[in-house]
């Protein structure tokens, strides 16, 4: 079935994915496309509306991202945000002032007034706080436009050409700091574009199930199940669609968190699919013996994982389809450039070279993480797996600093379980983006009972982040940290000191290795 579609045209802004998520929160399907997308492609997609994102450039720079002016002749409503608004004004014959010409630059919280006669602000308060972040500013408007919002410094804080259904905001309605931003986007989508809102996970599940069945027919599919949210939801969806035609291979590396292997097994063993659990803990630990260098650990685990998977897949024979839990943020074609590789991330999805199959199926490739979770809930997946925080492919191997031994794995599993339990008791488990314990290789002196101890230091890490590219350390209350510390030192052997990591990313990374 064809959904209503809104296109977010990415001009290299930092909030492009956030805009797309907001649109989807309004139950409207949305795709992010690069500003380089040919106009014919956009026309063929037949969007209900287009949103131009912000971007780091000035419209006057030679290399600033530009789109063919034909975009304004499609007859499709457009909302330009920040650079997007400036690009629209510039493209339609208005002028943009350079910030160094004046003191018009604005950053951060700004009071703004709106004309609530405009469809964009219909039903909203006339005054509220918005989030500005711009150097350049709209100086004169193109024909047909008028101001519908202003701040003390910015006479054209929001503009409209209602005839052509073009709207622009100098501020960012997509960020939480803009008080009525979510409703403004809703007004654009529903009042201006005339959307109805047909994007729900129930409908997605129905359609996806039907499409998967049509595609697979009587063929066989194979899925590498890591127990992470994405592969678990993909498995559940495939199970609903094709049941026993699917085989899931779950490689238990022995480096998972406490009881995690059993939880994954419990969630899938009776789900109608062929479920294969490979207990490869000893094999992985054998390969890792004596290894201390983080990148080496990652490589060894990545390679071994593929080997185990390949051996199991061979036993099954030829399969027609390999299922991967790729999600939308992985596939977005962005206007922005390449990033440096800081760590070689091992993702258990990356297996295609080694398995004999005809085609790859990625049933979640249109979904954002929160939608994947919602789909998991719709499909009845165990809440523990739905709300599982991200867990790196190499598992506890990169949370044990230095050499990995079975004893250290057990120590860390126990300590980490206590940390997670106390975070859940404090009802912080859905608030903190990721939290875990790290077993350092540092030992220090302590005193327990009347005796001297010389034991390991455990580090706790908790971060809040929306994209895991940058992160801030979580302000976990001291009394929660204290409970964890007391319990860890009392209940887990070989730890006599607990510290909390208060570095953000950058300069640190989230994981310690
Ligand atoms: P860093 O440590 O790079 O982590 O700040 C960012 C996010 O990625 C996760 N992570 C991984 N995920 N395979 C994965 O699938 C990996 O090798 C890997 N290493 C780190 C990390 O847990 C955090 O969420």
Residue 434 CB–ligand 1 contact under 6 Å: yes
- Separation of CA 55 and ligand 1 centre (Å): 27
For residue 78, count other CB atoms closer than 10 A to its CB. 26
pLDDT one-digit tens code per residue, 317-363: 889 999 999 888 777 755 544 444 565 554 544 555 666 788 889 99
* Cα–ligand 1 centroid distance for 17 (angstroms): 19
- 5-192 topology per CATH: Rossmann fold (3.40.50)
| pLDDT computed for residue 60 by the predictor | 86
Q: Which residues are CB-neighbours of 321 under 8 A, at least 6 positions away?
A: 215, 216, 219, 220, 221, 222, 357, 358, 359, 360, 361
Confidence class for position 1, pLDDT limits 50, 70, 90: low
Three-state DSSP class for residue 421: helix
CATH number for region 201-386: 3.40.50.620
Highest mean pLDDT among 111-120, 344-353, 444-453: 111-120
Please tell me the residue having the least CA distance from ligand 1 atom 14. Answer: 392
Residue 390 CB–ligand 1 contact under 6 Å: yes
All structural domains of the chain with their residue ranges: 5-192, 201-386, 399-500
Rg of the chain over all Cα atoms, to the nearest angstrom: 26
Q: From residue 4, how far is each of 30, 79, 363, 366, 391 by CA, in Å?
A: 8, 17, 19, 14, 34
Tokens of 301: 């685990």
Nearest CA to ligand 1 atom 20: 392
- Kindly report the number of other CB atoms within 10 A of residue 127's CB atom: 11
Q: Is 509 in the pocket of ligand 1 (CB under 6 A)?
A: yes
* Percent with pLDDT over 90 in the chain: 75
Q: Is 302 in the pocket of ligand 1 (CB under 6 A)?
A: no
Task: Quickly tell me which residue has 């709207």 as its tokens.
Answer: 167
Q: Give the integer Cα–Cα distance in Å for 397 and 298.
A: 8
Q: Is 394 in the pocket of ligand 1 (CB under 6 A)?
A: yes
Tell me if 297 CB under 6 Å of ligand 1.
no
Residue 510 CB–ligand 1 contact under 6 Å: yes
State whether the beta carbon of 294 lies less than 6 angstroms from ligand 1.
Answer: no
Q: What's the CA-to-centroid distance between 384 and ligand 1, angstroms?
A: 20
Average pLDDT on 407-420 reads 98
**Pairing status of strand 321-323 against strand 359-361:** parallel
Over residues 138-177, the pLDDT tens digits come to 999 999 999 999 999 899 999 999 999 999 999 999 998 8
Instruction: State the CATH class of domain 399-500.
Output: alpha beta
For residue 277, what pLDDT band results from cuts at 50, 70 and 90?
very high
Q: Is ligand 1 within 6 A of the CB of residue 346?
A: yes
Q: Which residues is 459 bridged to in the sheet?
A: 438, 499
Does residue 343 line the site of ligand 1, with CB under 6 A? yes
Residue 119 has pLDDT above 60, yes or no: yes
pLDDT in tens, 40-77: 999 999 999 999 999 887 888 888 888 899 999 999 99
Report d(CA 447, CA 113) in Å as an integer. 63
Q: Which two tokens stand for residue 276?
A: 């294969």
Contacting residues for 7 by C-beta, under 8 A, at least 6 apart:
30, 31, 32, 33, 42, 45, 47, 49, 50, 51
Beta-bridged to residue 7, according to DSSP, are 31, 50
Contact 292, 431 (CB under 8 A): no
Average per-residue pLDDT in the chain?
92
CA-to-CA distance for 162 and 192, rounded, in angstroms? 9
- Ligand 1 pocket: which of 390, 435, 469, 473 to mutate (most atoms <8 Å of CB)? 390
Alpha carbon of 378 to ligand 1 centroid (Å)? 27
Ligand 1 mean position, distance from CA 345 (Å): 6
Return the best residue to mutate from 345, 348, 466 for the ligand 1 pocket (most ligand atoms within 8 A of CB): 345
Share of the chain above pLDDT 70, in %: 94
Positive or negative torsion for Cα 8, 12, 15, 21: positive
The protein residue with its alpha carbon nearest to ligand 1, atom 18, reads 392
Atom of ligand 1 nearest to the CA of 508: 5
Identical fold at 5-192 and 201-386? yes
Q: Pick from 473, 511, 512, 513 the residue to mutate for probing ligand 1's pocket: most ligand atoms within 8 Å of its CB.
A: 511
Ligand 1 proximity of 425 Cβ (cutoff 6 Å): no
Nearest CA to ligand 1 atom 9: 392
As annotated, the active-site residues are: 82, 172, 174
Ligand 1 nearest atom to the CA of residue 394, by list position: 17
């Amino acid at each position: 079935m064809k959904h209503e579609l809104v296109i977010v045209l990415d001009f290299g802004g930092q909030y492009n994915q956030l805009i797309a998520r907001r649109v989807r929160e309004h139950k409207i399907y949305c795709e992010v496309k690069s500003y380089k997308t040919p106009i014919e492609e956009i026309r063929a997609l037949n969007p209900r509306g287009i949103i131009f994102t912000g971007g780091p450039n000035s419209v006057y720079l030679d290399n600033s991202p530009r789109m063919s002016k034909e975009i304004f002749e499609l007859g499709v409503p457009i909302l330009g945000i920040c650079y997007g608004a400036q690009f629209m004004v510039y493209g339609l014959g208005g002028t943009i002032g350079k910030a160094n010409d004046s003191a018009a630059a604005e950053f951060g919280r700004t009071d703004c007034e709106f004309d609530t006669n405009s469809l964009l602000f219909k039903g909203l308060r006339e005054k509220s706080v918005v989030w500005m972040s711009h150097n350049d500013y709209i100086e004169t408007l193109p024909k047909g436009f008028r101001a519908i919002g202003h701040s003390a410094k910015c006479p054209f804080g929001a503009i409209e050409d209602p005839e052509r259904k073009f709207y622009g905001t100098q501020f960012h309605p997509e960020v939480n700091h803009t008080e009525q931003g979510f409703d403004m986007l809703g007004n654009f989508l529903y009042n201006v574009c005339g959307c109805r809102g047909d994007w729900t996970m129930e409908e997605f599940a129905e359609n996806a199930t039907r499409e998967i069945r049509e595609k697979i027919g009587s063929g066989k599919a194979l899925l590498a199940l890591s127990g992470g949210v994405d592969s678990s939801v993909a498995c559940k969806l495939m199970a609903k669609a094709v049941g026993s035609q699917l085989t899931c291979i779950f490689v238990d590396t022995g480096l998972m968190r406490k009881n995690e292997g059993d939880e994954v097994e419990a969630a899938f063993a009776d789900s109608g699919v062929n479920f294969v659990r490979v207990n490869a803990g000893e094999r992985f630990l054998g390969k890792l013996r004596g290894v201390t260098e983080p990148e080496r650990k990652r490589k060894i685990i990545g390679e071994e994982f593929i080997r185990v998977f390949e051996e199991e897949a061979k036993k099954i024979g030829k399969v027609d389809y390999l299922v991967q839990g790729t999600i939308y943020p992985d596939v977005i074609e962005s206007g922005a450039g390449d990033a440096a590789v800081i760590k070689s991330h091992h993702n258990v999805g990356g297996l295609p070279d080694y398995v004999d199959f005809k085609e790859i199926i990625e049933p979640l490739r249109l979904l954002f993480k929160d939608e994947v979770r919602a789909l998991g809930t719709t499909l009845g997946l165990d809440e523990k797996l739905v709300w599982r925080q991200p867990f790196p492919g190499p598992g506890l191997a990169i949370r044990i600093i230095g050499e990995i031994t079975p004893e250290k794995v057990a120590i860390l599993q126990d300590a980490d379980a206590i940390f997670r339990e106390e975070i859940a008791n404090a009802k912080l488990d859905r608030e903190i983006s990721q939290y875990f314990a790290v077993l350092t290789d540092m030992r220090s002196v302590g005193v327990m009972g009347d005796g001297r101890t010389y034991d390991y230091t455990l580090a706790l890490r908790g971060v809040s982040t929306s994209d895991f590219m940058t992160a801030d350390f979580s302000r976990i209350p001291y009394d929660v940290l204290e409970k964890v510390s007391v319990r860890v030192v009392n209940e887990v052997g070989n730890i006599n000191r607990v510290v909390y990591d208060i570095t953000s990313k950058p300069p640190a990374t989230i994981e310690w290795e």
